[in-house]
Amino acid sequence: MEKFLVDIFGSEITAYIIIAIIPLIFIVPYALFAVWLERKVSAHMQDRLGPMYTGGWHGWAQTIADIIKLLQKEDIVPAAADKKLHLLAPYIVFIGSYAAFAAIPFSSEYIGSHLNLGIFYIIAVSSLVVVGLLMAGWSSNNKWSLFGAMRSAAQIVSYEIPTALSLLAVVMIAGTLNLQEINKMQSGWFWNWFIFSKFPFVFIAFLIYFVASLAEVNRTPFDIPEAESELVAGYHTEYTGMKFAMFFLAEYANMFAVSAIASAVFLGGWNSPFGDFMSGPIWGVFWFVAKGMFFIFVQMWLRWTLPRTRVDQLMYVSWKVLTPFAFFCIFAIGIWLML
Amino acid sequence: MNAIQILEKLKSKFPDAILDAKVEGVIEPYAKIKPELIKEVCQFMRDDEELNFDYLMCLSGMDYGKGVLGVVYNLNSIKHKHKFTLKVEVASDAPNVPSIESIWKTANWHEREAYDMFGIIFIDHPDLRRMLLPDDWEGHPLRKDYQVQEFYHGMKVPY
Amino acid sequence: MEAIITKKERDLKTEEMVVQMGPQHPSTHGVLRLEVTTEGEVVTDVKPIIGYLHRCFEKHCEQMTNYQQVIPYVDRMDYVAAMAMEWSYVLGMERMLGIQVPERVEYIRVIMAELQRIASHIIAIGTYGLDLGAFTPFLYLFRDRELILDIFERTCGARLLYNYFWIGGLSHDIPPEFVDKVREFVKQFKKTIVEVNNLLSYNEIFIKRTANVGILPADVAINYATSGPVLRGSGVKWDLRRDDPYSIYDRFDWEVQVGKGEMGTVGDCWDRYMVRCREMEQSLKIIEQAVEQIPPGDVQSAIPKRIRPNPGEIYVRTEAPRGELGFYIVSDGTNSPYRVKGRSSCFVNLSVLPEISRGYMIADLIAILGSIDIVLGEIDR
């Protein structure tokens, strides 16, 4: 793809800028769609209809209207806030989640950057989100925000360990950290996907990854950093208008990022489940997005079904359940590979 | 136990505490207690095996007019399922009643409310603040001679 | 060297933080303010501060020109259980005046009060789920609450504040389709209870959040004079419908539900929650029996033309959805009450909050507050 773009524009810089912008072009409409989907999914689960009027068919334009409203809103910064940090925080959060897209292979022909350390890079760069959240919570000069920020910092940092360990299980089998390579190894029919290899250890690793990723993106049952019934709105209590929208965008971008990693690492990424049927670079995008959206749907499903856990229970799950099991999986797969 | 027996028991234990009592011909049998002795009487009512009034249903402040304030204690026993009412009366210029918060914890908020609404001072109450009205409100609204204040923080009160 | 250490120690010192939960907070169920002292996430002290919704109920009552005028004000005490509020006041006045209400009125009152109890517990359970992050059961329950409100609307024209129970009777007779509608509701709601139990009551996360949290021992519960599901959740079998009988509850077959500590300790949040769930089933049982036996008659025959009780006083109490609702009514022989004191169940139940929430986390505080189930309209009056 880079070659193709370099050929067209005759300049590497232009080509790379375009490559870098493509995920953004994807994320913004996707976030609009996902917000709308969340409202519809929750509504239908709860015997309601959700938005029905804006735009005509099933209120499809509702989130567009919401964004326009948010853009027009007054940008309120609390008088006692740390203004610089307060301004910067939402962008850092978004950068953290957006940077992860650089190493996500959308198709066999398109990946932002062919990194040999793809998975490693994603895990590392998405930690930047924590900095942004802490900044947001601290700078708002609001105790509830601070509670939320502290909770989310503790939560995200702890859950990175089971996440990384469960991904490591696959990396051991694949022998590479490059996501594009991992995807290529899973081509063919769906039984070639890593989730079914070394059964059941990778499957357990997948479950660990999924639970941990829910916590990393602050979704129910682990949405305690922004638990609206406890902390009002957590770290973004004091944000309004577009800055609030940035947090939202980052949250939905993050949701897709973790879903995309799940599908790339465990479920064959852009590979068609049925061998050569509907495969190829363009179909690859379709399969990749479809798998990602499926996980997003599952995340929504869980959110509107389960209650929320408590901080100490959350830590318990991370340190005493997920982490030991992830180690166990790595250990078992290691032995299997040696035999 | 019925109300007559309860009153008999009280009379034998506290001969000089009961100022007045009515147990027949009224819906709520009651005994009027000397304000200074109300705490002892209540303690006895709760701890005595036969009476066992472990449940303070309600504690109401009262203004009987003519400068007399009162407190009404509606007692109930969960075990024996009998009820009895105690009353005290105090002059409104020195409305001091011993607090029974240490006997029934529920009295805490009720007494605060009575203080808030009637200005009855409960001696030894751990936290006698206004309950429902703002801390800087003037007067005690449920007194019959209450005059509403003209201004509250610059806002005109009577309308 | 020493100086450095002391500086370090000073820097490491932790301090308690005071946070104001409310009056504008999503989980305080109204305009309640909790002054929470926390040590990190752990609550060391809670001070409930009330009065934001004070509407001078007791002062209003003294200013009325007659006794009936109090009823609409009583409605506005616990606005999600207005029928129960009315009944307590009306019952007190009837006892004071010595009125025997017709059978038909008693049956309709029982049905209405039990429907109201279900509607009120629906809010309690639904918002409790909401407090703990489970949104969906709330809406499932509200769907069925609509059916109850529709029945009320058909009967008396109002959906929230009814002014339906009058001294000596009712404001309207029941409409012809009433019985069918109630049967329909009972049938539908039995399914919903099962659904909610599956979705929420026995959910692992929900149990983890509520069991062994906010334990209220029975003796403390009695000493604080808590009542209703809070008292029964602590294992005390005390229900005024049974223990201080009024109306015709003795004619029906039903049982008082108490907390048994199935998931943790007796008197924890789960017990209080579950008592409400089981009470809804019992209420359905009462409604099912009562609705088949409504005798014919006139609902307004016993309403007195002029209400002027003899000088005297009464403390009347009924089992409202949130506990013992009492009215201490003093008459001086004139047309209007001399004094009405509302003994609000939530007011008393809330006073136990500091006692049972010390040492738990902020998230638990929400769970405990939700399990007490307060309505600020009743607390502040």
- For residues C348 and C379, what is the distance between their CA atoms, to the nearest angstrom? 8
DSSP string of A153-203, one letter each residue: HHHHHHHHHHHHHHHHHHHHHH----HHHHHHHT-SBGGGSGGGTTTTHHH
- Reported as a single tens digit per residue, the pLDDT across A302-338 is 888 888 888 888 888 888 888 898 888 888 888 888 8
- Euclidean distance between CA atoms C156 and C173, whole angstroms: 8
Domain ranges across chain C: 76-380
pLDDT at position C2, please?
47
What is the structure's pLDDT at C363? 84
Chain A closest-CA separation from residue C21 CA (Å): 9
Of C59, C313, C348, the CB nearest to B141: C59
Give the integer Cα–Cα distance in Å for A297 and A219: 12
Class of domain B3-133: alpha beta
Q: Show which residues on chain A lie within 8 Å of chain C, measured between beta carbons.
A: 42, 45-48, 143-144, 147, 151, 220-221, 223-224, 227-232, 304-313
Q: Which of C26, C132, C133 sits opposite A232 (nearest CB)?
A: C26
Report chain C's terminal Cα–Cα distance, integer Å. Answer: 62
C373: left (phi over 0), alpha (psi -120 to 50) or beta: left
The H or E element spanning position B58 is strand B55-65
Spatial contact of C113 and C84, defined as CB atoms under 8 Å apart: yes
Residue of C nearest to A312 (CA): C361
Q: Are B97 and B123 in contact (CB under 8 A)?
A: yes
Per-residue pLDDT 10s for chain A (339 aa) are 667 777 777 777 887 787 778 777 878 888 888 888 888 888 888 888 888 888 778 888 888 888 888 888 888 888 888 888 888 888 888 888 888 888 888 777 777 677 778 888 888 888 888 888 888 888 888 888 888 888 888 888 888 888 888 888 888 888 888 888 887 777 777 777 777 777 787 888 888 888 888 888 877 777 776 766 677 777 778 888 888 888 888 888 888 888 888 888 888 777 777 777 777 777 888 888 888 888 888 888 888 888 888 888 888 888 888 889 888 888 888 888 888
| Structural tokens at position C364 | 């638990």
> C133 vs A307: CB contact, 8 Å cut-off?
yes
Residue C271 Cα distances to A43, C105, C203, C216, C263, angstroms? 30, 34, 14, 10, 8
Domain borders along chain B are 3-133
Query: Kind of pairing, strands C312-320 and C17-21?
Result: unpaired
Strands B83-91 and B30-33: parallel
Judged by DSSP in three states, B72 sits in: strand
Q: Which residues contact B138 (CB under 8 A, 6 or more apart)?
A: B149
Q: What is the dihedral of CA B56, B61, B64, B66, to 10 degrees?
A: 140
Q: Which positions in chain B touch C224 (Cβ < 8 Å)?
A: 104-106
Amino acid identity of residue B75, one-letter, is L
Determine the Cα–Cα distance for residues C209 and C230; give it in Å rounded to an integer: 18
Residues of chain C numbered 78-137 and touching chain B (CB < 8 Å) = 95-96
Cβ within 8 Å of B, C 214-253:
220, 222-226, 236, 238, 243-244
For residue A264, the tally of other CB atoms under 10 A from its CB is 30
Could you read off the pLDDT of C272-310 as tens digits, one per residue?
Answer: 899 999 999 999 989 988 888 888 888 888 788 888 888
Ordered per-residue pLDDT tens for chain B, 159 residues: 787 888 888 888 888 877 787 877 778 888 888 888 888 888 888 888 888 888 888 888 888 888 888 899 888 888 888 888 888 988 888 888 888 888 888 888 988 888 988 888 888 888 888 888 888 888 888 888 888 888 888 888 887
ipTM score: 0.89
Of C50, C244, C314, the CB nearest to B28: C314
> CB of B62 within 8 Å of any CB in chain C?
yes
Residues of chain C contacting residue A229, judged by C-beta atoms under 8 Å apart: 26-27, 130-133, 366
Distance from CA of C350 to the nearest CA of B (A): 10
Q: Which residue of C has its CA nearest to B142?
A: C59
Write out the two tokens for C347.
């007011």
User: Which backbone phi and psi does B156 adopt, to 5 degrees?
Assistant: -75, 130
Neighbours of chain B (3+ CB pairs under 8 A): C
* CB C81 within 8 Å of CB C120: yes
- Closest C-alpha to C347, from C330, C316, C325, C368: C325
C338 interfaces chain A, CB cutoff of 8 Å? no
Cis ω on the peptide bond leading into residue A200 (within 30° of 0)? yes
- Residue contact A310–C139, C-beta within 8 A: no
Q: Quick check: A297 and A136 in contact, CB under 8 A?
A: no
Burial A106-139 (b: 16+ CB within 10 A, else e): bbbbbbbeebeebbbbbbebbebbbbbbbbbbbb
Give φ, ψ of C296 to 5 degrees: -75, 165
Long-range contacts of A275-279 (CB under 8 A, 24+ apart): A275/A188, A275/A189, A279/A187
Helix segments in C13-102, DSSP class H:
57-63, 70-75, 82-97
Size of interface A-C (CB pairs under 8 A): 78
**What pLDDT score does C11 carry?**
64
* Residue C130 touches chain A, beta carbons under 8 Å: yes
How many of the other CB atoms lie within 10 Å of CB of C95?
15
Interface-testing mutation among B24, B57, B81, with chain C (most C C-beta atoms within 10 A): B57
Average pLDDT, chain C: 86
Chains B and A touching, counted as 3 or more CB pairs less than 8 Å apart: no
Q: How far apart are CA C136 and CA C124, in angstroms?
A: 14
**Contacts from A20-27 at CB under 8 Å and sequence distance 24+?**
A20/A102, A20/A112, A22/A106, A22/A110, A22/A112, A23/A98, A23/A101, A23/A102, A23/A104, A23/A106, A23/A112, A24/A98, A26/A106, A27/A98, A27/A101, A27/A249, A27/A252, A27/A253, A27/A256
Question: In this structure, are residues A177 and A275 in contact, taking their beta carbons and an 8 Å threshold?
Answer: no
CB-based contact C222 B78, cutoff 8 Å: yes
Nearest Cα residue to C284 out of C144, C129, C82, C125: C144
CA distance A104 to chain C (A): 32
Residues of chain C with pLDDT under 70: 1-13
Structure tokens at A303: 């959110």
Q: At what angle do helices A128-139 and A118-126 cross, to 10 degrees?
A: 10
Please answer whether residues A78 and A143 qualify as being in contact, where contact means their C-beta atoms are separated by less than 8 angstroms. no
CB–CB of C361 and A311 under 8 A? yes
Contact C85, C109 (CB under 8 A): no
> Given an 8 Å threshold on Cβ–Cβ distance, is B78 in contact with C236?
yes
Partners of residue B141 in chain C, C-beta under 8 Å:
56, 59
Alpha-helix runs per DSSP H in chain A: 2-9, 12-45, 62-72, 83-99, 118-126, 128-139, 143-174, 179-185, 201-216, 228-231, 241-266, 281-303, 311-316, 323-338
Q: From the CA of A54, how many Å to the nearest CA of chain C?
A: 23
**Separation CA A176–CA C306 (nearest Å):** 92
What spatial distance separates the first Cα and last Cα of chain B, rounded to whole Å? 52
CB A269 within 8 A of CB A288: yes
Interface contact A143-C25, CB threshold 8 A: no
CA distance B28 to chain C (A): 6
- CATH annotation of C76-380: 1.10.645.10
What are the extents of the domains in chain A? 1-72, 76-338
Amino acid at B130: R
Contact C139 A47 (CB under 8 A): yes
